[in-house]
C-alpha cells in the first residue's frame, strides 16, 4: 500500500494530498489505505507513456499478441487472490467475481488474436483516377488515458487496456478510488512479463487525479466509463483539446415481457437483469414493461423470487446478492426509497435498507410506476425495479424508447419473429432476446443517446484505438 502507483515500470509511493481509504462494504469498515498520486506524478506517467510510444507502436503485432496472452495467463494464475479482492472490496458473490475474472481473461485472449491478424502497415487502395496510387495505414492513436469505474473493476479496464495495447498505444490507467486495489495486478503482470517501461502506467487518486489526467495535454485520446455527470466533464476537456473520446455512461434500460412468455423463465431473466452486482450496472434493466395479459401472473412470482434471494456477506456465506459497494451509493439508493414513499408508489417488496452492518439494501419491486416518476426516469444503480403495464407491441416500444438513455434492452417473448422485430425497433446499443445479460467479447458494447459515444469490445474496440492514414502519390 505504500507504493500503489506504477509509473515508467516502477512502483512508487503517492505524493498527493488525498488519502484513500479502501472499504469492505459487507462490514462498512476500511481495510486498506493508500496515498493518491500528485498532479506531478500524473505528468510523469503521461511523459513515460509518450517516451515509450515510438518503440511500442513499432513492435511486431505478434510480439504484442504474445504479451497480451501473457496477461491472460497471469490473470488466471492469480485467480484466488483476485477473486478475494473482488469479494472483499466490491462485495461481489463468488460466482459473480469468477465471471468478472473469466471475462477479463477472455478479453486479453481475444485481442491477442486480433493483434496477430492486424494487416500489414500498408494496404493499396484502388483509384478510379489515372496517374495516382494510394495506400492506407492503420496506426495507433497514441497515448491514451483510461478512466474506469468501481462497479466492474478489472473487467472494464481489460476492455480498454487489451485493445489499446493490441493497437500499439501506450496507456495511463486511473482506477476508481473506491476499488483501487485489483488493477494493481496489471502492473504486477507487466513486471513479470517484461513489458517495456512506460507502456502501461497506473495512477490512483480521487477526483482531482482524474481531472488532472482527463485535462492533460499530453494525451491523444481518453476513454472513460462512469457517470454522466463526470462523463460530461470529460467530454468538455476533450473538446478543449480537440481530441477523440470514448464514453460509456449510464442507462435506464427496459425489459419487455410479452404475454406469451413463460412467467417462470421471465422471472429468471428479470431478476438477473436487476440484481446482478446488486443492481450496480449501467445495463441494469430497471424498467419492467409487462403486457396486461401476463402481469397478474408474473408480478406475484417476481415478488416471491426477490424475497427468496439470499443477501449477505460473500466472504462469510453463500449468497445471491452482496452489499452496495460504497456508502455513498447506499445513501443514494436509500434516497430513492424515500422518494418512492413520498410519491406514494406501490412497493411489492423491499424498499428499505437492511438492518445490519455494511451497506445492504433489499431487492425492491414497485408496481404500476408512473412514467414521470423519478424512479422510472433516473438511473438508481441499485436492485430497484419499477414495473409498468402495456397493451400493444407499439405501446411497449414507445415506452421503452421514451428515455434519455439508450444502452441495452431485453425482449421476452415466445414469438421469435415479434421478438426480433421489437429488438430492431429499440433505440439501444445491445438487445438480448430471451436471455440473461450474457456479454461476449466478440460483440460490441456501448449505447445511444445519453449512454455514451463509441463502442468497446469486438473489432470496434480495437478500431477505437487506431487512426487511419492515407498516402496518395502522383505517378507522373
Q: Which of 125-129, 180-184, 335-339, 418-422 has the lowest mean pLDDT?
A: 125-129
CB-based contact 116:61 (threshold 8 Å): yes
Neighbour tally for 243: CB within 10 Å = 17
Taking only the tens place, the pLDDT of each residue in 175-209 is 999 999 999 999 999 999 999 999 999 999 999 99
Taking only the tens place, the pLDDT of each residue in 220-229 is 999 999 999 9
Could you give the CA distance from residue 406 to residue 400 in angstroms, rounded to a whole number? 9
Which helix H or strand E contains 43, and what residues bound it? helix 39-57
Q: Which residues are catalytic?
A: 248, 282
Residue 102 CB partners (closer than 8 Å, separation 6+): none
Mean pLDDT (the chain, rounded): 96
291: its cell numbers: 403486457
Which residues lie across from 385 on neighbouring strands? 365
What integer pLDDT is reported at residue 124 of this predicted model?
Answer: 87
CB-based contact 37:204 (threshold 8 Å): yes
- H helix intervals, 282-384: 292-308, 327-343, 374-377
Residue 323 CB partners (closer than 8 Å, separation 6+): 25, 26, 91, 278, 313, 330, 358, 359, 360
Residue 123 has pLDDT above 90, yes or no: no
Taking only the tens place, the pLDDT of each residue in 76-115 is 999 999 999 999 999 999 999 999 999 999 999 999 999 9
CA distances from 401 to 18, 76, 397, 455 (A): 42, 40, 6, 20
Taking only the tens place, the pLDDT of each residue in 277-325 is 999 999 999 999 999 999 999 999 999 999 999 999 999 999 999 999 9
Could you give the CA distance from residue 125 to residue 129 in angstroms, rounded to a whole number? 11
Ordered by where they begin, the domains of the chain are 5-249+451-474 (3.40.605.10), 254-440 (3.40.309.10)
- Residue 316 sits at φ, ψ, to 5 deg, of -110, -20
Mind giving me the DSSP string for 378-444? S---SSEEEEEEESSHHHHHHHHH-SSEESEEEEE-S-HHHHHHHHHHS-SSEEEESS-----TTS-
Could you give the CA distance from residue 261 to residue 463 in angstroms, rounded to a whole number? 39
Distance between first and last Cα of the chain: 64
CB-based contact 426:255 (threshold 8 Å): no
The whole-number average pLDDT for the span 53-70 is 96
Residue 258 carries which DSSP code?
-
SS3 191: helix
The dihedral of CA 6, 43, 165, 145: what is its sign? positive
The dihedral of CA 94, 75, 152, 65: what is its sign? negative
The whole-number average pLDDT for the span 225-251 is 94
Could you give the CA distance from residue 450 to residue 466 in angstroms, rounded to a whole number? 24
Could you give the CA distance from residue 191 to residue 438 in angstroms, rounded to a whole number? 33
Q: What Rg, from alpha-carbon coordinates, does the chain have?
A: 23
Output b/e per residue, 163-182; b: 16+ Cβ within 10 A.
Answer: bbbbbbbbbbbbbbbbbbbb
Could you give the CA distance from residue 439 to residue 159 in angstroms, rounded to a whole number? 12
Residue 377 has pLDDT above 90, yes or no: yes
Q: Cell 430513492 belongs to which residue?
A: 336
The whole-number average pLDDT for the span 360-369 is 98
What integer pLDDT is reported at residue 1 of this predicted model?
Answer: 72
Residue 212 has pLDDT above 80, yes or no: yes
What integer pLDDT is reported at residue 100 of this predicted model?
Answer: 97
What integer pLDDT is reported at residue 400 of this predicted model?
Answer: 98
CB-based contact 467:445 (threshold 8 Å): no
The whole-number average pLDDT for the span 40-48 is 98
Which helix H or strand E contains 466, and what residues bound it? strand 466-474
Ramachandran assignment for 283, one of left (phi > 0), alpha (psi -120 to 50 degrees), beta (any other)? alpha
How many percent of the chain have pLDDT more than 90?
A: 96
Could you give the CA distance from residue 301 to residue 305 in angstroms, rounded to a whole number? 6
The alpha carbon of residue 31 and the mean position of all alpha carbons in its chain are separated, in whole angstroms, by 25
25: its cell numbers: 462494504
CB-based contact 111:462 (threshold 8 Å): yes
Amino acid at each position: 500500500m505504500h507504493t500503489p502507483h506504477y509509473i515508467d515500470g516502477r512502483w512508487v509511493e503517492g505524493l498527493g494530498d488525498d488519502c484513500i481509504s479502501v472499504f469492505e462494504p459487507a462490514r462498512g469498515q476500511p481495510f486498506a489505505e493508500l496515498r493518491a498520486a500528485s498532479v506531478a506524478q500524473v505528468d510523469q506517467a503521461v511523459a513515460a507513456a509518450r517516451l515509450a510510444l515510438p518503440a511500442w507502436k513499432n513492435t511486431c503485432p505478434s510480439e504484442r499478441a504474445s504479451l497480451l496472452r501473457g496477461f491472460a495467463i497471469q490473470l488466471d494464475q492469480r485467480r484466488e487472490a483476485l477473486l478475494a479482492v473482488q469479494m472483499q472490496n466490491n462485495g461481489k458473490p463468488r460466482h459473480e467475481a469468477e465471471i468478472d475474472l473469466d471475462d477479463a481473461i477472455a478479453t486479453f485472449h481475444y485481442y491477442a488474436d486480433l493483434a496477430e491478424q492486424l494487416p500489414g502497415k500498408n494496404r493499396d487502395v484502388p483509384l478510379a483516377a489515372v496517374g495516382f496510387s494510394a495506400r492506407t495505414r492503420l496506426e495507433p492513436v497514441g497515448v491514451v488515458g483510461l478512466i474506469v469505474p468501481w462497479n466492474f473493476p478489472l473487467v472494464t479496464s481489460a476492455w480498454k487496456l487489451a485493445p489499446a495495447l493490441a493497437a500499439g498505444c501506450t496507456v495511463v490507467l486511473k482506477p476508481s478510488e473506491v476499488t483501487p486495489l485489483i488493477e494493481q495486478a496489471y502492473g504486477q503482470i507487466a513486471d513479470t512479463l517484461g513489458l517495456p517501461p512506460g507502456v502501461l502506467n497506473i495512477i490512483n487518486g480521487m477526483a482531482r487525479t482524474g481531472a488532472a489526467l482527463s485535462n492533460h495535454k499530453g494525451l491523444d485520446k481518453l476513454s472513460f466509463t462512469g457517470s454522466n455527470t463526470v462523463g460530461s466533464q470529460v467530454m468538455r476537456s476533450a473538446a478543449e483539446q480537440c481530441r477523440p473520446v470514448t464514453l460509456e455512461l449510464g442507462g435506464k434500460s427496459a425489459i419487455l415481457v410479452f404475454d406469451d412468455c413463460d412467467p417462470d423463465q421471465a422471472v429468471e431473466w428479470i431478476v438477473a437483469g436487476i440484481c446482478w452486482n446488486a443492481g450496480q450496472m449501467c445495463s441494469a434493466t430497471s424498467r419492467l414493461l409487462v403486457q396486461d395479459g401476463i402481469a397478474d401472473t408474473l408480478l406475484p412470482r417476481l415478488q416471491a423470487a426477490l424475497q427468496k434471494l439470499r443477501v449477505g456477506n460473500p466472504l462469510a456465506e453463500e449468497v445471491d446478492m452482496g452489499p452496495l459497494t460504497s456508502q455513498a451509493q447506499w445513501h443514494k439508493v436509500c434516497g430513492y426509497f424515500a422518494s418512492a414513499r413520498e410519491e406514494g408508489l406501490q412497493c411489492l417488496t423491499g424498499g428499505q435498507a437492511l438492518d445490519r452492518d455494511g451497506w445492504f439494501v433489499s431487492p425492491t419491486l414497485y408496481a404500476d410506476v408512473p412514467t414521470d416518476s423519478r424512479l422510472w426516469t433516473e438511473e438508481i444503480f441499485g436492485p430497484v425495479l419499477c414495473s409498468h403495464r402495456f397493451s400493444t407491441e407499439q405501446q411497449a416500444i414507445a415506452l421503452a424508447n421514451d428515455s434519455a438513455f439508450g444502452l441495452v434492452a431485453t425482449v421476452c417473448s415466445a414469438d421469435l419473429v415479434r421478438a426480433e422485430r421489437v429488438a430492431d425497433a429499440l433505440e439501444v446499443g445491445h438487445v438480448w432476446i430471451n436471455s440473461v445479460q450474457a456479454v461476449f467479447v466478440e460483440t460490441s458494447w456501448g449505447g445511444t443517446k445519453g449512454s455514451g459515444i463509441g463502442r468497446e469490445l469486438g473489432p470496434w474496440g480495437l478500431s477505437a484505438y487506431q487512426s487511419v492514414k492515407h498516402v496518395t502519390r502522383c505517378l507522373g
